[in-house]
Amino acid sequence: MRQLIAGNWKMHGMGGEAAALAGAIRAGAAGLACDLLVCPPFTQLVPVAGMLAGSTVAVGGQDCHAEAKGAHTGDISAAMLADAGARFVILGHSERRANHGETDAGVRAKAVAAIAAGLTPIVCVGETEAERTAGWETGVVGGQLSGSLPEGFSGVVAYEPVWAIGTGKTATEDDVAAMHGFIRQALVRQLGEAGSLVRILYGGSVRPANASVLLAVPEVGGALVGGASLVAEDFLAIARAARPG
């Protein structure tokens, strides 16, 4: 399966910057051996999707509401993301779990809504530094998977150890191999044969300098990139390091 290199722009991107970034990624994307995705902030979805229309680069949202519409001030539905040109949506990112109190059950409901709207959910899991120090990482991630993925889930899972996000620290190759192997087994247990087809992305301080090592680890189906996805040349360098699928 082709690896997916996804950029999570988080709360970055005013109009001019977003357009320039999307344009530069579009220009460098042709012929890459991986799938590419950018997830701009909501305000930039329509222009970025417009700039990337007809290219090989897909667009996604960074969150959605579990309901299709209603009195939910400040929220965006999955159908609205699709209407704006998105094909993917990131759900349960650790920043949303930590800053907005998102729970596994809430993430599961959002994943159901995303799939119903025709989007591919990217469900994020990952342990904190304290949980890893205590030796609880597989218990935490296993609990997040069983709580956050709905029955019959089809989509993508992103393993993002919280302590590696935006810190410049990455998990070692061995840690990534162990965790991705554990996640694969959990997915097959939970979803049956379909669990073997779910791409498992690694996220947390992925940079051009470490991408080829991380992307070569078995069961790594791509990368979810934060900071380095804001620099077109870095994002494209990570994409060039993808393992041909």
CB nearer ligand 13P, residue 186 or residue 223: 223
8 binds ligand 13P per the rule CB under 6 A: yes
CB nearer ligand 13P, residue 8 or residue 148: 8
CA 218 to chain centre: 18
Residues 82-101 that bind ligand 13P (CB under 6 A): 93
165 binds ligand 13P per the rule CB under 6 A: yes
Report DSSP letters for 65-133, one per residue. BSSSSSS-TT--BHHHHHHTT--EEEES-HHHHHHS---HHHHHHHHHHHHHTT-EEEEEE---HHHHH
Q: Which residue has the tokens 């959002």?
A: 110
44 binds ligand 13P per the rule CB under 6 A: no
Phi and psi at 101, nearest 5°, equal: 65, 30
List the one residue from 29, 81, 205, 235 that touches ligand 13P (CB under 6 A): 205
Phi and psi at 229, nearest 5°, equal: -80, -5
A 10 A CB-CB count for 154 gives 14
With CB under 6 A, what is the number of residues at the site for ligand 13P?
Answer: 14
List the one residue from 160, 195, 198, 219 that touches ligand 13P (CB under 6 A): 160
- Residue 56: CB minimum distance to ligand 13P, A: 21
144 binds ligand 13P per the rule CB under 6 A: no
- Residue 68: CB minimum distance to ligand 13P, A: 26
Cβ within 8 Å of residue 134, ≥6 positions away: none
Q: Which residue has the tokens 């305000």?
A: 43
CB nearer ligand 13P, residue 117 or residue 201: 201
Active site residues: 93, 160
Query: Given the rule CB under 6 A, which residues bind ligand 13P?
Result: 8, 93, 160, 165-166, 203-206, 224-228
